[in-house]
Amino acid sequence: MTGTVFVDTNILVYAHDADAGPKRQRAAAVLRDLWGARAGRLSTQVLQEFYVNATRKVKAPLSPAAAREAVRNYASWVDSWMTPDTVLRASEIAETWQLSFWDGMILAAAEQNRATQLLSEDLSHGAIIAGIRIVNPFLE
Protein backbone atom coordinates (compact mmCIF):
# COMPACT_ATOMS: atom_id res chain seq x y z
CA MET A 1 0.00 0.00 0.00
CA THR A 2 1.26 3.40 -0.91
CA GLY A 3 -0.04 6.88 -0.21
CA THR A 4 -2.71 7.76 2.30
CA VAL A 5 -5.03 4.86 3.10
CA PHE A 6 -8.48 5.38 4.60
CA VAL A 7 -9.77 2.55 6.77
CA ASP A 8 -13.43 1.53 6.95
CA THR A 9 -15.06 0.50 10.21
CA ASN A 10 -15.13 -3.23 9.54
CA ILE A 11 -11.33 -3.43 9.36
CA LEU A 12 -11.02 -1.83 12.82
CA VAL A 13 -13.70 -4.08 14.26
CA TYR A 14 -12.04 -7.25 12.93
CA ALA A 15 -8.69 -6.15 14.38
CA HIS A 16 -10.27 -6.00 17.85
CA ASP A 17 -12.69 -8.94 17.59
CA ALA A 18 -11.30 -11.97 19.45
CA ASP A 19 -13.61 -14.26 17.45
CA ALA A 20 -12.64 -12.99 13.99
CA GLY A 21 -9.95 -15.66 13.45
CA PRO A 22 -7.77 -15.09 10.36
CA LYS A 23 -9.55 -11.81 9.62
CA ARG A 24 -8.43 -10.50 13.00
CA GLN A 25 -4.83 -11.39 12.25
CA ARG A 26 -4.95 -9.85 8.76
CA ALA A 27 -6.73 -6.67 9.91
CA ALA A 28 -4.31 -6.20 12.81
CA ALA A 29 -1.31 -6.67 10.49
CA VAL A 30 -2.66 -4.15 7.98
CA LEU A 31 -3.26 -1.60 10.75
CA ARG A 32 0.26 -2.16 12.15
CA ASP A 33 1.73 -1.55 8.69
CA LEU A 34 -0.30 1.64 8.27
CA TRP A 35 0.69 2.77 11.75
CA GLY A 36 4.37 2.26 10.97
CA ALA A 37 4.08 4.09 7.66
CA ARG A 38 1.94 6.85 9.20
CA ALA A 39 -0.39 6.36 6.27
CA GLY A 40 -3.68 5.45 7.98
CA ARG A 41 -6.66 7.81 8.07
CA LEU A 42 -10.11 7.58 9.68
CA SER A 43 -13.11 9.80 10.21
CA THR A 44 -15.10 10.47 13.34
CA GLN A 45 -17.91 8.46 11.71
CA VAL A 46 -15.63 5.41 11.54
CA LEU A 47 -14.66 5.85 15.19
CA GLN A 48 -18.31 6.13 16.21
CA GLU A 49 -19.27 3.02 14.26
CA PHE A 50 -16.26 1.16 15.66
CA TYR A 51 -17.23 1.96 19.25
CA VAL A 52 -20.83 0.79 18.80
CA ASN A 53 -19.92 -2.38 16.90
CA ALA A 54 -17.00 -3.34 19.14
CA THR A 55 -19.02 -2.93 22.35
CA ARG A 56 -22.38 -4.28 21.20
CA LYS A 57 -22.39 -6.21 17.95
CA VAL A 58 -19.55 -8.73 18.15
CA LYS A 59 -19.79 -12.08 19.91
CA ALA A 60 -17.20 -11.12 22.57
CA PRO A 61 -17.63 -7.35 22.90
CA LEU A 62 -14.95 -5.04 24.19
CA SER A 63 -15.61 -3.28 27.45
CA PRO A 64 -16.56 0.37 27.02
CA ALA A 65 -13.22 1.33 28.62
CA ALA A 66 -11.24 -0.84 26.17
CA ALA A 67 -13.19 0.55 23.21
CA ARG A 68 -12.60 4.11 24.42
CA GLU A 69 -8.88 3.38 24.66
CA ALA A 70 -8.88 2.10 21.08
CA VAL A 71 -10.70 5.25 19.95
CA ARG A 72 -8.09 7.37 21.77
CA ASN A 73 -5.30 5.45 20.03
CA TYR A 74 -6.83 5.85 16.58
CA ALA A 75 -7.76 9.50 17.12
CA SER A 76 -4.46 10.61 15.60
CA TRP A 77 -5.62 9.11 12.31
CA VAL A 78 -8.45 11.64 12.07
CA ASP A 79 -6.88 14.37 9.97
CA SER A 80 -9.89 16.40 8.84
CA TRP A 81 -13.30 17.36 10.16
CA MET A 82 -16.73 16.62 8.80
CA THR A 83 -18.33 19.79 7.50
CA PRO A 84 -21.55 20.60 5.65
CA ASP A 85 -19.48 20.36 2.44
CA THR A 86 -18.51 16.80 3.42
CA VAL A 87 -22.18 15.91 3.79
CA LEU A 88 -23.02 17.44 0.42
CA ARG A 89 -20.15 15.62 -1.27
CA ALA A 90 -21.25 12.36 0.39
CA SER A 91 -24.73 12.77 -1.07
CA GLU A 92 -23.23 13.34 -4.53
CA ILE A 93 -21.02 10.26 -4.24
CA ALA A 94 -23.92 8.15 -2.98
CA GLU A 95 -26.15 9.30 -5.85
CA THR A 96 -23.53 8.98 -8.58
CA TRP A 97 -22.25 5.53 -7.58
CA GLN A 98 -25.57 4.18 -6.22
CA LEU A 99 -24.26 3.73 -2.67
CA SER A 100 -25.77 4.26 0.73
CA PHE A 101 -25.38 7.74 2.15
CA TRP A 102 -23.16 6.31 4.93
CA ASP A 103 -20.79 4.71 2.40
CA GLY A 104 -20.82 8.06 0.63
CA MET A 105 -19.73 9.70 3.90
CA ILE A 106 -16.82 7.26 4.22
CA LEU A 107 -15.73 8.00 0.65
CA ALA A 108 -16.19 11.77 1.03
CA ALA A 109 -14.00 11.67 4.14
CA ALA A 110 -11.43 9.56 2.31
CA GLU A 111 -11.45 12.02 -0.58
CA GLN A 112 -11.13 14.95 1.84
CA ASN A 113 -8.06 13.21 3.31
CA ARG A 114 -6.60 12.75 -0.17
CA ALA A 115 -6.59 8.99 0.29
CA THR A 116 -5.55 6.88 -2.67
CA GLN A 117 -7.16 3.73 -1.23
CA LEU A 118 -10.07 2.76 0.99
CA LEU A 119 -9.71 -0.51 2.88
CA SER A 120 -13.15 -2.05 3.13
CA GLU A 121 -14.81 -5.41 2.99
CA ASP A 122 -18.18 -3.83 2.17
CA LEU A 123 -17.50 -2.22 -1.21
CA SER A 124 -16.42 -3.80 -4.51
CA HIS A 125 -12.74 -4.77 -4.42
CA GLY A 126 -10.83 -3.05 -7.21
CA ALA A 127 -13.50 -0.45 -7.95
CA ILE A 128 -12.45 3.16 -8.21
CA ILE A 129 -15.00 5.50 -6.67
CA ALA A 130 -14.41 9.26 -6.58
CA GLY A 131 -10.80 8.57 -7.55
CA ILE A 132 -10.25 6.19 -4.62
CA ARG A 133 -9.37 2.54 -5.17
CA ILE A 134 -11.36 0.12 -3.03
CA VAL A 135 -9.18 -2.63 -1.54
CA ASN A 136 -10.51 -5.60 0.40
CA PRO A 137 -7.44 -6.59 2.45
CA PHE A 138 -8.84 -10.07 2.98
CA LEU A 139 -8.64 -10.86 -0.73
CA GLU A 140 -5.01 -9.84 -1.22
Q: What is the pLDDT of residues 18-73, one digit of tens each?
A: 999 999 999 999 999 999 999 999 999 999 999 999 999 999 999 999 999 999 99
- The domain in which residue 19 lies consists of 5-135
Give the N- to C-terminal CA distance of the chain in Å, as an integer.
Answer: 11
The span from the CA of 85 to the CA of 37, in Å, is 29
pLDDT of residue 128: 98
Position 12 in a domain: yes
Q: Does some domain include residue 91?
A: yes
Cα(137)–Cα(103) distance, integer angstroms: 17
In a domain, 59, yes or no: yes
Specify the pLDDT at position 84. 97
Q: What percent of the chain has pLDDT over 70?
A: 98
DSSP 8-state symbol, 63 = P
Q: Give the chain's domain count.
A: 1
Question: What CATH number corresponds to the domain at position 31?
Answer: 3.40.50.1010
pLDDT score for 111: 97
pLDDT category at 1 given cuts 50, 70, 90 is low
Is the residue at 30 inside a domain? yes
Would you give the DSSP letter of residue 139? T
> What's 78-137 look like in SS3?
ECCCCCHHHHHHHHHHHHHHCCCHHHHHHHHHHHHCCCCEEECCCCCCCCEECCEEEECC
Residue 39 forms part of a structural domain: yes
Torsion of CA 39, 40, 43, 46, to 10 degrees: 170
Is the distance from CB of 120 to CB of 100 less than 8 angstroms? no
